[in-house]
């Protein structure tokens, strides 16, 4: 199944990943 991954969706995923990484480093 191919999802309709728009640039907005990919950017949102990148933001979430960045927040998770930042949070882990600053815990």
Residue 23 pLDDT greater than 80, yes or no: yes
Q: Which long-range contacts (CB under 8 A, 24 or more apart) does 13-19 make?
A: none
Q: Per the structure block, which two tokens stand in for 23?
A: 């949070």
**Model's pTM, two decimal places?**
0.52
Taking the C-alpha atoms of residue 6 and residue 1, their distance in angstroms, rounded to an integer, is 15
Residue 12 pLDDT greater than 70, yes or no: yes
pLDDT band for position 19 (50/70/90)? Answer: very high
Q: Is the backbone of residue 2 left (phi > 0), alpha (psi -120 to 50) or beta? A: beta
Residue 2 pLDDT greater than 90, yes or no: no
Q: Per the structure block, which two tokens stand in for 14?
A: 């990148």
pLDDT band for position 15 (50/70/90)? Answer: very high
């Amino acid at each position: 199944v191919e999802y309709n991954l728009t640039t907005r969706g990919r950017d949102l995923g990148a933001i979430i990943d960045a927040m998770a990484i930042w949070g882990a480093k600053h815990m």
